[in-house]
């Protein structure tokens, strides 16, 4: 009986300490892992959110860029972190929906390795070319690619964009050479430098170069035109029906993070995404600031995973 009472006392003490720790959360700085290099869309979204989240939680939220393997390196690091609420991961379409389709071996599972907190942003991709490329629209790009099979190089920053381009190639009946990059910044550098001729990239990353005349925009990849560049036609408007691709980002935490902490983070993110200056900043890049419940985000991740599995199968892209 004495041993039982001692064990019960220990369990009650541990439960009380855990409850206190959750109630006191956060009492130190948080880390937000961004699985891509600085300068890309996921990094831009992460730094905007981290700054406002710091004010909302009363603790610093420090961005930690861990690039490589289409975000798989950073995502795996996040998945293996202690589930105490002090490590956040800025997931995106690559890390949470497409890497499982394109990687034969992946060090994490997008569904079981994380607890979703909230979707935070959605935006279109922009199809661009180097100014030396004579194509002024998608039809001319397709004609050029057909006249020079295998000679046009296209860059992508992540597996999600790779699949998007392969879907377009399949619709258009063309083939271009794929050049993979660790993030948007190095891909954009090579586009401006002429090392690649074509780049599909999130609007927020590449449009400033278009506005500066260093790249030419041919199309946006969503059903509707981008609010920040309404003059750029959509892919569907240029004769390629059924093509609708968005880049998206959302916050997840390591699986097993206490529900009370997940809910507190979710409430803070809802407040952040409702801020007028956050909405305005995102809108400058034709991104929509948004929040979802953890359950809604979990469903969204699963639906996107299934969607891109089908795209990969149709495009003949196999895991590597």
Q: Name the CATH topology of 124-238.
A: D-Maltodextrin-Binding Protein; domain 2 (3.40.190)
**Residue of 207, 137, 204, 149 lying closest to 173 (CA atoms):** 149
Q: Provide the angle, in degrees to the nearest 10, between the axes of the packed helices 259-273 and 294-315.
A: 80
CATH number of the structural domain 2-123+247-315: 3.40.190.150
Confidence of residue 7 (pLDDT cuts 50, 70, 90): low
Domain ranges of the chain: 2-123+247-315, 124-238
Residue 280, pLDDT score: 92
Residue 17, pLDDT score: 43
In this model, does residue 171 exceed pLDDT 70?
yes
Q: What is the pTM of this model?
A: 0.80
DSSP 253-277: EETT--HHHHHHHHHHHHHHHT-HH
Q: Is 2-123+247-315's fold the same as 124-238's?
A: yes
Which 3 state secondary structure label does DSSP give 235?
coil
Q: Is the pLDDT higher at 149 or at 192?
A: 192
How many C-alpha atoms does 16 have within 13 Å on its Cβ side? 6
Chain segment 142-168, per-residue pLDDT in tens: 999 999 988 899 998 877 788 889 889
Confidence of residue 182 (pLDDT cuts 50, 70, 90): confident
DSSP label of 215? S
In this model, does residue 69 exceed pLDDT 80?
yes
Residue 10, pLDDT score: 44
Confidence of residue 252 (pLDDT cuts 50, 70, 90): very high
Q: Is the peptide bond before 26 cis (omega within 30 degrees of 0)?
A: yes
Contacts of 32 (CB under 8 A, 6+ apart): 46, 49, 50, 61, 62, 63, 64, 88, 89, 90, 251
Percent of the chain topping pLDDT 90: 66
């Amino acid at each position: 009986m004495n041993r039982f009472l001692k064990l019960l006392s220990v369990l009650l003490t541990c439960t009380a300490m855990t409850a206190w720790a959750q109630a006191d959360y956060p009492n130190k700085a948080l880390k937000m892992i961004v699985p891509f290099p600085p300068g890309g869309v996921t990094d831009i979204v992460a730094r905007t959110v981290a700054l406002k989240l710091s004010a909302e939680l009363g603790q610093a939220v420090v961005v930690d860029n861990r690039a490589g393997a289409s975000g798989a390196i950073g995502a795996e690091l996040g998945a293996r972190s202690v589930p105490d609420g002090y490590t956040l991961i800025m997931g995106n379409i690559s890390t949470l929906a497409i890497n499982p389709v394109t990687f034969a071996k992946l060090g994490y599972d997008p569904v079981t390795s994380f607890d979703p907190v909230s979707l935070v942003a959605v935006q279109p991709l922009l199809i661009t070319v180097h100014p030396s490329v004579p194509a002024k629209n998608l039809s001319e790009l397709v004609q050029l690619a057909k006249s020079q099979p295998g000679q046009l190089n296209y860059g992508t920053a992540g597996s999600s964009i790779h699949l998007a381009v392969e879907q377009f190639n399949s619709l258009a009946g063309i083939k271009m050479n794929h050049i993979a990059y660790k993030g948007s910044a190095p891909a954009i550098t090579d586009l401006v430098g002429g090392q690649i001729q074509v780049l599909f990239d999130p609007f927020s990353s590449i449009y400033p170069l278009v506005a500066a005349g260093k790249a030419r925009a041919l199309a946006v990849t969503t059903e509707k035109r981008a609010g920040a560049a309404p003059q750029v036609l959509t892919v569907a408007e240029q004769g390629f029906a059924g093509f609708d691709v968005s880049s998206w980002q959302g916050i997840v935490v390591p699986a097993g993070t206490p529900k009370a902490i997940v809910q507190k983070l979710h409430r803070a993110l809802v407040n952040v995404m409702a801020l007028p200056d956050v909405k305005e900043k995102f809108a400058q890049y034709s991104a929509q600031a948004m929040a979802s419940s953890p359950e809604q985000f979990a469903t969204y991740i699963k639906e996107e995973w299934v969607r891109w599995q089908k795209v990969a199968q149709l495009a003949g892209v196999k895991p590597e």
